[in-house]
């Protein structure tokens, strides 16, 4: 599975992602899928508040990095 769009809150944190099939996932579900190896090009890290979030892998192409994806 690949993430193609993101949704952010007012603080700029990603709250939801959309995969290439158009399915919208809450961040918690996306984190669980990434941990299971079901989402490509992302890793799971912790943000400044200690909450698990997604981050682009180092190998991700520039246009595929989460922060560069279009918002929905």
Identify the band that residue 60 occupies on the pLDDT scale cut at 50, 70 and 90.
low
Structural domain harbouring 47? 3-68
Q: What's the burial of 44, exposed, middle or buried (CB within 10 Å: 0-12/13-18/19+)?
A: middle
Region 27-43: mean pLDDT is: 95
Q: Which two tokens stand for residue 21?
A: 């099939």
Q: How many domains does the structure of the chain reveal?
A: 1
Q: Which two tokens stand for residue 25?
A: 């996932």
Region 8-18: mean pLDDT is: 93
> Are 39 and 18 a contacting pair, CB within 8 Å?
no
Identify the band that residue 20 occupies on the pLDDT scale cut at 50, 70 and 90.
very high
């Amino acid at each position: 599975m690949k993430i193609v769009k993101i949704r952010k809150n007012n603080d700029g944190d990603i709250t939801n992602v959309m995969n290439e099939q158009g399915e919208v996932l809450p961040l918690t579900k996306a984190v669980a899928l990434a941990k299971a190896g079901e989402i490509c090009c992302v890793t799971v890290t912790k943000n400044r508040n200690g909450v698990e979030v997604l981050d682009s892998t180092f190998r991700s192409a520039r246009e595929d990095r989460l922060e560069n994806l279009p918002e929905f």
